[in-house]
Amino acid sequence: MNYRHLGNAGIQVSELSLGSWVTFHLQTDLKASMDMMSAAYDAGVNFFDNAEAYALGKSEEIMGAALKRLGWRRGSYLVSTKLFWGLHDNPNEKNTLNRKYLLEGIDGSLRRLDMDYVDLLYCHRSDPSTPIEETVWAMHSIIERGKALYWGTSEWEAAEILEAIAIAERHHLHKPIVEQPVYNLLEQHRFGPEYEAVYKDHGYGSTTWSPLASGLLTGKYQKGIPADSRGAVQGYEWLQDGLQDAKRLAVVDALEPIAAAMGATLAQFSLAWCLQNPWVSSVITGASRVEQVHENMKALNFVAKFSDDVMTAIDEALGGLHQA
């Protein structure tokens, strides 16, 4: 495993990390989740990603229980959580980044994780109805109270991130240091030109999500939705359009021989492609079974193989796709 700094920050994250969205609680119980976390940790993963909203808090409970049983030294790994959607249908507690919600929300997450602090706390989305200044002060307070060590953003516009950084600098507050954007061969917009100032000039880190586009980039959806796949998980039917989109499936067909020529599975190829972008700090992988973790960790063997010729072939394969 290699480790990369989260942008300019002192902390380092493993190039591949493991998250729990959809999987923990809905697809994997405590034992299966522990097995996957162990396989990742044994491969050198030091970052485990979570969120309040995942399985409505159950994902945090499983990860917390798993870490207790696994008994790893706290200094040897990082845990994140994220706040925004909330767990209660109440104007002050859902779809918000107000100070009250954030300060109470982190306490709820820590209770479920059974931890004293998380390493990274993300604002899971931006909240246009709360002044960014209020959110920046609240995140600073959470860090000052020792409940999180660093904070970041997820799916924020570049201009919003720059505003948060400017506010923090003006008041000498803890700045956000990392964005959590979607990033895979089919969805590349979060590293577009408007983000250059964020990643390059401000040394922002990035922990990227859905590197396999929810599994599409493994090739498993080429002949329909397998019964044992994410596409068939109850409550996630909204993913099915994207998993059956003819243009995206055609791109996957076109990528397959490029991966094969490299000696990689499509999953390994797609994960390794994310890591050839130097602005990516860590690629958060997802898995519903331990065999997938074993396969995905081997993606590291292919990162150096993205020559100019390979990149040209990928561009051609992506050709007809309108990237969102």
Q: Which residues bind ligand NAP (CB under 6 A)?
A: 19-21, 23, 27, 49, 124, 154-155, 180, 209-215, 218, 220, 229-230, 267, 284-288, 292, 295-296
Taking the complex as a whole, the smallest distance from the CB of residue 259 to ligand NAP amounts, in Å, to 12
Q: Are strands 176-179 and 47-49 parallel, antiparallel or unpaired?
A: unpaired
Taking the complex as a whole, the smallest distance from the CB of residue 22 to ligand NAP amounts, in Å, to 6
Please, which residue, 186 or 310, has the CB nearer to ligand NAP? 186
CA torsion sign, 2 to 4 to 10 to 11? negative
Question: How far is it, in rounded angstroms, from Cα 146 to Cα 6?
Answer: 20
Annotated active-site residue 236? The verdict is: no
Taking the complex as a whole, the smallest distance from the CB of residue 24 to ligand NAP amounts, in Å, to 8
Please, which residue, 64 or 211, has the CB nearer to ligand NAP? 211
Core vs surface per residue 248-259: b (16+ CB within 10 A) or e: bbebbebbbebb
Question: How far is it, in rounded angstroms, from Cα 163 to Cα 64?
Answer: 34
| CA dist list (Å): 129 to 37, 91, 147 | 37, 12, 25
Find out whether 125 and 83 touch, Cβ atoms under 8 Å.
no
- 5, β-bridge pairs: 12
CA-based nearest residue to 205, from 1, 3, 66: 3
Catalytic hit among 54, 122, 199, 221: 54
Please, which residue, 169 or 228, has the CB nearer to ligand NAP? 228
Question: How far is it, in rounded angstroms, from Cα 266 to Cα 256?
Answer: 6
The residue ranges of DSSP E strands in 245-302, in sequence order, are 282-285
Other C-beta atoms lying within 10 Å of the C-beta of residue 247: 10
Please, which residue, 60 or 142, has the CB nearer to ligand NAP? 60
Please, which residue, 166 or 298, has the CB nearer to ligand NAP? 298
| CA dist list (Å): 58 to 51, 71, 232, 234 | 10, 20, 20, 16
Taking the complex as a whole, the smallest distance from the CB of residue 179 to ligand NAP amounts, in Å, to 9
Taking the complex as a whole, the smallest distance from the CB of residue 172 to ligand NAP amounts, in Å, to 28
Question: How far is it, in rounded angstroms, from Cα 140 to Cα 152?
Answer: 11
Question: How far is it, in rounded angstroms, from Cα 36 to Cα 77?
Answer: 15
Question: How far is it, in rounded angstroms, from Cα 73 to Cα 133?
Answer: 36
Question: How far is it, in rounded angstroms, from Cα 257 to Cα 237?
Answer: 30
Taking the complex as a whole, the smallest distance from the CB of residue 230 to ligand NAP amounts, in Å, to 4
Please, which residue, 155 or 169, has the CB nearer to ligand NAP? 155
Please, which residue, 140 or 230, has the CB nearer to ligand NAP? 230
Taking the complex as a whole, the smallest distance from the CB of residue 170 to ligand NAP amounts, in Å, to 27
Q: Which residues are catalytic?
A: 54
